[in-house]
Amino acid sequence: MASMREFVKSAGTVLPEIPKPEKKPSLNERFIWTGFALIAYLVMATTPLFGFGGPGEQQNQLAFLRVVFASTQGTLMELGIGPIVTSGLILQLLVGSDIIKLDMADSSDRAVFGTATKLLTLIVICGEAAAYILGGALGGACTASVTTNCLTPTRDVVIFIQLFSAGILVLLLDEMIQKGWGLGSGVSLFILAGVCQTVMWYGFSPVTFAVTSTQTAFFGFIPALISAFFTNTLPSIVVRNFEYPSLLTFTLTIVMILVIVYIEGIRIELPITSIKYRGFQGVYPIKLLYVSNIPVILVSALGANVTFFTELLYKNSSHSSWWLPYLGQWANANSTYPTGGLVYYMTSPQSVEQTIADPVHSVIYLLYLVGMAVVFAKLWVEIGGLNPKQVAKNLMDANVQVPGFRRTGLSIEQVLNRYIPTLTIIGGILIGLIAGIADLFGVFGTGIGILLMVDIILQYYQMLLKEQVEEISPALAGLIGAG
């Protein structure tokens, strides 16, 4: 373990790194850097891979998972934030299971964890880039009948270099924002951009599709609604055969957003007083969704990686292994959605029609999502420094105490133990249910995507409020951010 720690520290000296700002940038400067990162992401998400083609020119592999990982097939953002999330997931599982022993309350151990995450991210970028190329997600081999946009050894190398370079750039953009140059985190920012793009596409896309040999219709709900109004065919957009954005899915999306906003506002308010500023009284809020959106992201990362590598094995084997069909099955080499096996039940139904047609799949998927969300919620509380012991330490460091209790870390920890462990489990169950039910009913941008979008927007709103308070009264902002 000691040798591994030294290796990670040595590797950290040669890994690319964004330095912390010497002094905290102003809010306007942080807006500019955040905007720069967002523009860089959007440019990469629309820039086709050189030597391959562009977005949509191949069957969209794992399209049902791309919205969560801010990836776009055939572009520099083919991998999206997948490598960052995957490496974080692996290390969190290793630390949470005590296979790797790190004290996340210790600053030096947190630094080792951060460096190890970056190092593993680079390895995952290489692994995923190679897997996407070899597995056919970016096209197949050249044959006598297929000579364009097919993969050759030269193209493989060129595409690999592009994916690796884009992956490093995404990693550095995320690091730049998290180190104080921007607002929030790059991962959240890119997820928000990806989900918003999808929601806008479902709502306003002017693209048409063939209904019959002589009739076409708009894909986006709003253009379809306007068209139906002027052609007196309003009943036709209520469900639209459960295949395209409809009045039903639009209404469910709005309802789901309102439900998430309402639940996000539910919290327990623990009264606190300041030792340093006499007379100051306030509350320390503990949200019902205490773990925020992190467990959902981690569950998505787990499902995406298991599904992709199972698909890779299934489509590139002779199916002679007896266990492989139990792990996952696909109808043919061109299909993008599993039809059987474990990964089928780890993947949400693709429409309301599929939800109704296979209720067993729907129930098992919902139970899987809720169960894994609870597991990752408990892991994240321990690893992310959100456990009662660490929160009590943060409150002590902020010169805050709970009225009626002795000002000791143990006393505050005992108070927090009444709420945090319970809210962690309840929060995991709720976000799993919200994301799963929304997925089953085909809301715009997927249930997990909508949950992440609303949660990230609220986080940015609260962050901006805190920044404004900090500019007016740094002492008060310190108390607000004590947890």
Q: Is residue 11 part of a domain?
A: no
Q: Is residue 267 part of a domain?
A: yes
pTM for the complete prediction? 0.79
Co-location of 222 and 164 in the same domain: no
Co-location of 101 and 142 in the same domain: yes
Co-location of 139 and 262 in the same domain: no
Give the separation between CA 405 and CA 416, rounded to whole angstroms. Answer: 12
Residue 148's CATH number:
1.10.3370.10
- Domain end marker among 237, 254, 288: 237
The DSSP symbol for 79 reads S
Co-location of 184 and 101 in the same domain: yes
- Domain end marker among 204, 229, 253: 204
Co-location of 227 and 105 in the same domain: no
The whole-number mean pLDDT for each consecutive block of 10 residues of the chain, a chain of 483 residues, reads: 72 82 87 93 89 52 68 87 86 76 74 87 91 67 53 82 93 91 89 88 87 80 90 85 83 91 88 73 84 83 82 73 82 77 88 84 93 90 82 80 73 86 92 89 85 88 77 54 44
Q: Is residue 226 part of a domain?
A: yes
Q: What is the H or E stretch that residue 203 is in?
A: helix 186-204
Q: What is the H or E stretch that residue 377 is in?
A: helix 359-383
Residue 375's pLDDT is what? 92
Q: Which residues contact 19 (CB under 8 A, 6 or more apart)?
A: 179
Residue 363's pLDDT is what? 93
Give the separation between CA 4 and CA 20, rounded to whole angstroms. Answer: 26
Strands (E), 326-418: 400-401
By CB atoms closer than 10 A (0-12, 13-18, 19+), residue 107 is exposed
What size, in residues, is the chain? 483
Q: Which residues contact 320 (CB under 8 A, 6 or more apart)?
A: none
Q: Is residue 22 part of a domain?
A: no
Co-location of 159 and 246 in the same domain: no
Co-location of 284 and 423 in the same domain: yes
Co-location of 99 and 126 in the same domain: yes
Co-location of 70 and 101 in the same domain: yes
Give the separation between CA 163 and CA 157, rounded to whole angstroms. Answer: 10
Give the separation between CA 334 and CA 318, rounded to whole angstroms. Answer: 16
Q: Is residue 228 part of a domain?
A: yes
Co-location of 364 and 479 in the same domain: yes
What pairing do the DSSP bridges indicate for beta strands 208-210 and 281-287? Answer: unpaired
Co-location of 419 and 367 in the same domain: yes
Q: Which domain holds residue 297?
A: 238-483
Q: Which residues contact 425 (CB under 8 A, 6 or more apart)?
A: 374, 377, 378
Domains in the chain: how many in total? 3
Q: Is residue 10 part of a domain?
A: no
Q: Is residue 381 part of a domain?
A: yes
- Domain end marker among 192, 222, 237: 237
Query: Is residue 376 helix, strand or coil?
Result: helix
Co-location of 233 and 253 in the same domain: no
Q: Is residue 102 part of a domain?
A: yes
By CB atoms closer than 10 A (0-12, 13-18, 19+), residue 113 is buried
